[in-house]
Amino acid sequence: MIQLEKVSKTYQTDKVETLALKDIDLHVKEAEFVCIMGPSGCGKSTLLNLIGLLDRPGAGAIRVGGAPVKSYRDKDVATLRNRTFGFIFQNFHLISDLRVIDNVELPLLYRANITAAERKRLAREALEKVGLGARMEHYPNQLSGGQQQRVAIARAIVGRPQVLLADEPTGNLDSKMGAEVMDILLKLNAEGTTVVMVTHDETEARRANRIVRVFDGQLVA
């Protein structure tokens, strides 16, 4: 599904160069659930951003579904990204003055050939999948943190992506709400969606197929 070969990434800010990732070889298979773990600053978010084609590597090759991304133009990378990935973040990133249903519809606004009624239907379906069918008319601040994260998951899956990328999705949730979010990710994975998730929680990570450990920008296990 996703292959990284000898991938490195250096950030350049003013006079400071940070080698965030070095010679990463990683193969994420279809329908796998992979957890990425490691101390703060070791390169986990950078790795997730590269996998999700939000950023380009300084060296090495990334393949998504067999296609070498390097040969794509920016516009085509964006198309591939939107078709392949759904993103979930620690801080939900919901738009506070849009209702839940309108937040979930957002990724579909960029799609051609889809009617407003079809967008609504898909958004409703996604919300039902995360158990929030009754909350569609609410605003995000009327929901608990766990519910807001479930809205964010609905938004991430509404376009039926093959891969869900989650950067510490339970980091701001208590353990009960975190476990609920984890249950939903596992359910989506069981239905065939590939999941790559950054977490600091060993209990959560043990529920995945595989744990990838990063230290100082390198894969160590």
Cβ atoms of 108 and 114 closer than 8 Å: yes
178 in contact with ligand ADP (CB under 6 A): no
Q: Select the span of 38-46, 63-71, 146-154, 176-184 touching ligand ADP (CB under 6 A).
A: 38-46
CB 7 within 8 A of CB 23: yes
Cβ neighbour number for residue 23 with a 10 Å cutoff: 14
> Cβ distance 165 to 9 under 8 Å?
no
Task: Choose which of 25, 29, 30, 41 interacts with ligand ADP (CB under 6 A).
Answer: 41
The piece of 39-47, 67-75, 148-156, 180-188 that touches ligand ADP (CB under 6 A) is: 39-47
Q: Draw the binding track, 43-72, toward ligand ADP (x: CB under 6 A; -: no contact).
A: xxxx--x-----------------------
CB 181 within 8 A of CB 170: yes
* DSSP-derived secondary structure letter, 74: H
Q: Which of 168, 196, 189 is closest to 64 using CA atoms?
A: 196
Smallest gap, in angstroms, from Cβ of residue 149 to ligand ADP? Answer: 15
Min dist. Cβ of residue 171 to ligand ADP (A): 7
Based on the shown chain and the rule CB under 6 A, indicate whether residue 215 belongs to the binding site for ligand ADP.
no
Pick from 219, 221, 187: which is nearest to 42 by CA?
219
13 binds ligand ADP (CB under 6 A): yes
Binding-site ranges for ligand ADP (CB under 6 A)? 11, 13, 18, 20, 38, 40-46, 49, 90, 168
